[in-house]
Homo-oligomer: A and B are copies of this chain.
């Protein structure tokens, strides 16, 4: 019985055809695998005969050769892969950043593997382990609360990583973020300049430094006039409603609200809608982060716009530098801008 390749193929578990390797090219051309590798990688230029090179290149095309990146990674001890951990890839802030990082990484020949932490320390740790096992060359991470241990671990094992958006002031490490304090100040100053006196701040009940900087930036300007509503991350709708209710029940009710994240802003606007509170007439609103939703609100929402492209591309740049020189220590702080729309200005 004759057993050609196609009958052997019959016995494969799946219908998947075997891919051609450097070995196949070598045996077809009648040279060593080393030579094939040299030719295909343009190494040892000039030290290889034109004919051999031509034959090899042709065979590579004929056989539709595609290098096996896994084998390459194993040998090079480098996977050309970046692990990205965001809070939730379904959140527009995360997905926009992810997109920018994807593009920037791709330009440098890197792929990105993404995971969502859901703001949970355990999930973060799991993802880090998982990505480490997959031998990523470095991480870009938006660390959730209480993950100092994980950040320290990464430092300890010496793998390159950059914190994005979030950071721990007590851990010196590479970081790309905006100046949250002044971003919040921007928002509050704008409200004050537009005649608002009592400004409510809605933020998360959290130890996350970047959010607390936003709160601090706002409160430092408001002094005794500031009122804060704190929202539990797993009770957003409920606690936002409660915060707003609290603001309105004050002897001197608020005439403006500053929300410190996009999700809080959206929840807040929904609540204000259902309370039939007119924006900006009764209450002025300033949000954080860009989303389509803000533009569709009857009074398009004024918001603090983070430089997403800057954040993403700087994070990738920094990581690549870091991969090159593990001892580098560098942080990038960008500035946010205020996009003024109708939700905060009576005259508009």
Contacts and interface: CB of A to CB of B under 8 A. Distances in A.
Interface of A: 13-17, 19, 66-71, 73-74, 79, 88-92, 94-96, 98-99, 102-103, 106, 111-116, 129-130, 132-135, 157-160, 266, 269-270, 273, 291-298, 323-327
Given A15-B327, A270-B296, A298-B298, A134 B111 contact: yes
A73 B133 CA distance: 11
A168 B293 CA distance: 33
Contacts of A67: 133
A140 B273 CA distance: 39
Nearest to A89: B99
Contacts of A111: 113, 130, 134
Contacts of A91: 95
Contacts of A89: 89, 95, 98-99, 102
Nearest to A16: B158
A115 to B, nearest CB: 7
Contact of A114 (B112, B135, B297): B112
Contact of A293 (B66, B130, B292): B292
Contacts of A160: 14, 16
